[in-house]
Amino acid sequence: MAGAKNGVFAEKLSPYLRQKMAEEKYPGELSFLDLQYVVDPSEAVDRAHEVDRHYQSELHTTFEGAELRGVEKLYRRTLLVEPTTICAAHCRWCIRGQYTTRTLSEDDLLRVARYCGSAPENAAVREVLVTGGDPLVLVDRLAFLLDAIEEHAPQVEVVRIGTRVPLQDPRRVDERMIRALRPRSTFRVEIATHINHPGELFPEVREAYGALGSAGARIYDQTVLLRGVNDDLDTLITLYDELRHLDIEAHYLFHCVPIRGMDHHRTSIARGLDLFRRLVVSGMTSGRAKPHFTLMTDVGKVSLYEGAVIGREGDRVLVQTGYSYEERRRWAPAWVLPPTARVDENGFLQVWYLDSDGGKAEH
């Protein structure tokens, strides 16, 4: 999810995606690819309360006398590492589209691993989420990081790797990648992916996910709800049936984040909740193929439940979370309460989140 230049998120498609789009047999057949990867003039339209980046969770700190780069932390058990901000292709709805392009050195990665394993604030860390960018674009660098975590952070039990490479360039899933993703002596490897439309599951994509699963990686999906791509019940039912068939766990159905210029991709929260309810109570999907409908707010992920939305001001909703302010400060000492959040009388965070009107043309 490479950074923007001069505030413009460059269009980037892998040769694989370009080939697929060139093979379109009739207009609109692969619109789910066009909508996700081709620049739209609507990206130039700004709304009040949109932001350039999702929640701010970088650790602005030093460790062993040097700046700690490419590390974020919002949750007690999880440390997030970004070895690179480069991707095989640029999803137009990317939450990291405005990140500066960078790749960590091996020295940086070693420092991160030692920080994870020895800093007092990481005593409860049991998971490392490796994201970016796309870590599978630089397999050797990823393998180096995994080896370093095994050696220097033995308390880590799970390493999760966020990637769209199987969808954007499945030929990269080769023996070298499989070796890099092998389970280590101290942790297992999980693959987090965003599959947003059943049409993305071309035969070679299925083979790529199958190869990752056969190598021992557990795969889970975090679908992003995108207007015009998957905001209808039949598409979602087909998608989650396909994921179940591929042994990919349904994890989140994300409401599209209010990043600047992305409103044309977003449904309203009400539309998302309606689709979610019908998806999970229709009897048309298996109980093991149902995701959590979730907002990525300025203080972290919040899965919506009855009573979670506690107020509204114009186009913003106030969301009640279960995040304790004091606990957040304990495991992320440098974290600062964002201006969109407040602490309630019980010490839990409440946060404002920008809704969308869904283009005023929702079903």
Query: Alpha-carbon distance 142 to 169, whole Å?
Result: 17
What letter does residue 257 receive in the DSSP assignment?
Answer: P
Is residue 99 within 8 A of residue 111, CB to CB? The reply is no
* pLDDT tens for the chain, residues 1 to 363: 455 555 678 999 999 999 999 999 999 999 999 999 999 999 988 888 777 766 667 777 889 999 999 999 888 999 999 999 999 999 999 987 777 789 999 999 999 999 999 999 999 999 999 998 999 999 999 999 999 999 999 999 999 999 999 999 999 999 999 999 999 999 999 999 999 999 999 999 999 999 999 999 999 999 999 999 999 999 999 999 999 999 999 999 999 999 888 999 999 999 999 999 999 888 877 777 789 999 999 999 999 988 899 999 999 999 999 999 999 998 888 888 999 999 999 999 999 999 998 755 554
Domains of the chain: 15-360 (3.20.20.70)
What's the chain's length in residues? 363
Q: How many CB atoms lie within 10 A of CB 320?
A: 17
Query: Alpha-carbon distance 143 to 176, whole Å?
Result: 10
Which tokens sit at 37? Answer: 């990867």
CA distances to 82, 130, 141, 266, 301 from 217, rounded to whole Å, are 20, 14, 18, 31, 24
The pTM of the full predicted model, rounded to 2 decimals, is: 0.93
What letter does residue 259 receive in the DSSP assignment?
Answer: B
Is residue 150 within 8 A of residue 180, CB to CB? The reply is no
Q: Collapsing DSSP states into helix, strand and coil, what is residue 19? A: helix
Strand-strand pairing, 316-324 and 309-313: antiparallel
The answer to whether the peptide bond before residue 133 is cis (omega within 30 degrees of 0) is yes
What letter does residue 182 receive in the DSSP assignment?
Answer: S
In the chain, the DSSP E strands lie at 62-63, 66-67, 71-72, 78-84, 127-132, 158-163, 188-193, 218-225, 249-255, 292-297, 300-303, 309-313, 316-324, 341-343, 348-354
